[in-house]
Amino acid sequence: MKCNVCKDTAVVSLPSHNAGFCAEHFFQFFSRQVARAIKDRDMFGPDDRILVAVSGGKDSLGLTLELQRQGYDVTALFVDLGIPGSSDAARRRIEAFCQARDIRLTVKECAAEGLAIPEVKAATTRPICAACGRIKRHIFNRTAREEGFDVLATGHNLDDEVARLFANTLRWDLSYLAGQAPDLPGEGGFAKKVKPLFRLTEFETANYAFLQGIDYHVDPCPYSTGASFTQHKALLADLEHHSPGQKLAFYKLFLRQGRAAFQALEQQEGGAVLAPCERCASPTATGVCVVCRLREQVARAGALPFAKGGR
Amino acid sequence: MKCNVCKDTAVVSLPSHNAGFCAEHFFQFFSRQVARAIKDRDMFGPDDRILVAVSGGKDSLGLTLELQRQGYDVTALFVDLGIPGSSDAARRRIEAFCQARDIRLTVKECAAEGLAIPEVKAATTRPICAACGRIKRHIFNRTAREEGFDVLATGHNLDDEVARLFANTLRWDLSYLAGQAPDLPGEGGFAKKVKPLFRLTEFETANYAFLQGIDYHVDPCPYSTGASFTQHKALLADLEHHSPGQKLAFYKLFLRQGRAAFQALEQQEGGAVLAPCERCASPTATGVCVVCRLREQVARAGALPFAKGGR
């Protein structure tokens, strides 16, 4: 197969775009998809300060690099979850990545806030992945707001977005469907949030990271019992295989048509009323926010002589 | 495997219900699913006159038989499409079925209305399956209304409904999503329409027809180029295989939660305004309805010396 642009040997084949590219022109394709996402959804401009949440994986590091290459003002944010054998390895890779490419890095440690994930896991009966997600988003949002960033960017790719949309649709989860988008406005205590990789598949972000020589973190989280979206992703891959381009079409038509229906219903019924958390001032519908309640549970568990976590 | 009820050898295994049944208790299971659909969606009562649209296939004949067994006042309606080698065979099977079981049968011939499907196919460039569907639904509706039936029933099963819902969702087709349900009210020129088999899978309706000894029509329509839902059905079967019960849950949650969103948007935006067709008085948004326009196209084509259909 030959590169669509220069006719050199292609290194990446993209059936959904009916195209193949050499490394150089794949980077060009990738940049254009990111630029188009940013422009179409009015994500941010050249003067905005962008905080990119990084996990150390291919998507978030690829996004950070690409935004820097496009000349944006980028700062990476790593939330150190304090998970033994995992968080340290991710952190070292991110520090090396940022240092080598001269990218500003901010690190927040869950342990410093009484929210180290192993302690949260020991102190609660809730599924740890849900609690961990809440804590990370809480810290992302607080950091973006307190440190004056204009926008918070995450590395979610098209497959992440479509798998999530598919799962939300299978359950007809109305509030999640009303709230799913690659750009959410900054309002009511929330920082503006964007997903500039939403037009690119996981295959494309993996190729980008590989071809750019990014040394990314690949080990799954030791607490994850296998991503819940794995089966849906396989099924959607099957759909894409039969009709290349269907995944992006499903997501784009949702944004253009479907989402308005869920927003109309939310408007008709009146959504949840959010107010600042009584402890930390983050927006919440429950008086004291989930993260503050988790922090209190961890503190109580730690104060017990036979804390669950200590046995 | 043993029957869940009598411990006799099971002939049907239903993983989504975590059950197996002998023929007798499978019929009981089937009857209960139909009775529950009728009751839950308030489809009709013992005094209603029910018109069942029959194609000669397992679903519509199985439905007719089951409603008769439950003591309902049932009349079968066959629309003879006039397709050589197909319509005749279906018609003979239906006539034999109705005669043997003492079920009233009404036959409407498309040819008698200037709408024989081969002539429609020759006179238009539209996909014939879409035109044929419109014509059938037009005749179903008109017959139900003109002949004083309380409700029109069709044999759509759960797989039909879920595949259609899935296709509508992949395209986020708002008006189709707002209008999809196993029960649609009789209003604005439309007869009340119901789908009493919506809780039963294609596997279950096929077993029912087979075990009841129904001699049903199995040949695909010679004009169909392979059902468009086939790939979706395979994909949904895969989903069901991994999570038995997921198909019914997807459909039921749509009815309970999702559909309201599409209806809310339709309400907000104001749906299409329907008025009686200028020719035939059927409800339409386009002055003269699609079926009357097709009839005129067929008449014009027939009047031409070198009509497309005649070559």
B172: nearest CB among A238, A239, A254: A254
- For residue A20, the cross-strand partners are A13
Please compute Rg for chain B using Cα positions. 20
Q: Decide: residue A146, CB within 10 A, 0-12 exposed, 13-18 middle, 19+ buried.
A: exposed
- pLDDT band at B307; cut points 50, 70, 90: very low
Is the pLDDT reported for residue B17 higher than 70?
yes
Q: Whose CA is closest to B89, among B220, B207, B214, B227?
A: B220
Token readout for A104 is 């500003």
Q: In this predicted structure, what is the pLDDT of residue A304?
A: 64
ipTM of the complex: 0.83
Q: What's the DSSP call for residue B226?
A: S
- B205-215 pLDDT, tens digit per residue, is 999 999 999 99
> B256: distance to nearest CA of chain A, Å?
9
Q: Is B237 on the interface with A (CB under 8 A)?
A: no
Beta bridge partners of B147: none
| pLDDT on residue A24 | 96
Distance CA A309, CA A299 (A): 11
Q: Cβ separation of A253 and B172 shorter than 8 Å?
A: yes
For residue A64, give how far its alpha carbon lies from the nearest alpha carbon of chain B (Å): 31
CB contact set of B202 (below 8 Å; sequence gap of 6+): B59, B157, B158, B159, B160
Kindly state the average pLDDT of the residues B124-143. Answer: 93
Position A310 scores a pLDDT of 39
Torsion sign over Cα A30, A36, A39, A42: negative
Could you tell me which of A311, A308, A310 has the C-alpha nearest to residue A123? A308
Q: What is the pLDDT of residues B53-74, one digit of tens each?
A: 999 999 999 999 999 999 999 9
Question: Which pLDDT score, from 0 to 100, does residue A305 have?
Answer: 55
User: Looking at the partner chain, which of B174, B238, B249 has a beta carbon nearest the beta carbon of A235?
Assistant: B238
Closest CA to A103 of A132, A137, A78: A78
Q: CA-to-CA distance for B209 and B27, rounded, in angstroms?
A: 10
pLDDT in tens, B22-55: 999 999 999 999 999 999 999 999 999 999 999 9
Among the partner-chain residues B171, B253, B254, the one whose CB lies closest to the CB of A253 is B171
Contacts (Cβ under 8 Å, ≥6 apart) of A64 = A52, A54, A74, A76, A97, A98, A103
Output B162 or A225, whichever has higher pLDDT: B162
- Where would I find the H helices in chain B? 23-40, 58-69, 87-100, 117-123, 128-146, 158-170, 174-179, 202-211, 230-242, 246-253, 259-269, 290-303
CA terminus-to-terminus distance, chain B? 59
DSSP A256: I
The per-residue pLDDT for range B240-273, each reduced to its tens digit, is 888 888 999 999 999 999 999 999 998 888 877 8
Query: If you average pLDDT over every residue of chain B, what do you get?
Result: 92
Whether residues A174 and B265 touch (CB distance < 8 A) is answered with: no
Q: Measure B31 CA to nearest chain A CA, in Å.
A: 28
- A194: which 2 tokens? 């964007």
The whole-angstrom separation of Cα B294 and Cα B115 is 8
Pairing of strands A275-276, A283-284: antiparallel
A250 interfaces chain B, CB cutoff of 8 Å: yes
What pLDDT does A68 receive? 98
DSSP 8-state class, residue B288: S
The chain B residue lying nearest A236, using CA atoms, is B235
Between chains, do A177 and B261 touch, taking CB under 8 Å as contact? Answer: yes
Q: Give A245→chain B minimum CA distance, Å.
A: 12
Per residue of chain A (311 residues), give pLDDT as tens.
Answer: 899 999 999 999 998 888 999 999 999 999 999 999 999 999 999 999 999 999 999 999 999 999 999 999 999 999 999 999 899 999 999 999 999 999 999 999 999 999 999 999 999 888 899 999 999 999 999 999 999 999 999 999 999 999 999 999 999 999 999 999 999 999 989 999 999 999 999 999 999 999 999 999 888 888 876 555 677 888 888 888 888 889 999 999 999 999 999 999 988 888 778 899 999 999 998 899 999 999 999 999 887 655 444 33
Contact pairs from chain A to chain B, CB under 8 Å: 61
Q: Does B261 touch chain A (CB under 8 A)?
A: yes
pLDDT of residue B311: 37
| CA dihedral sign of residues B17, B23, B29, B30 | positive
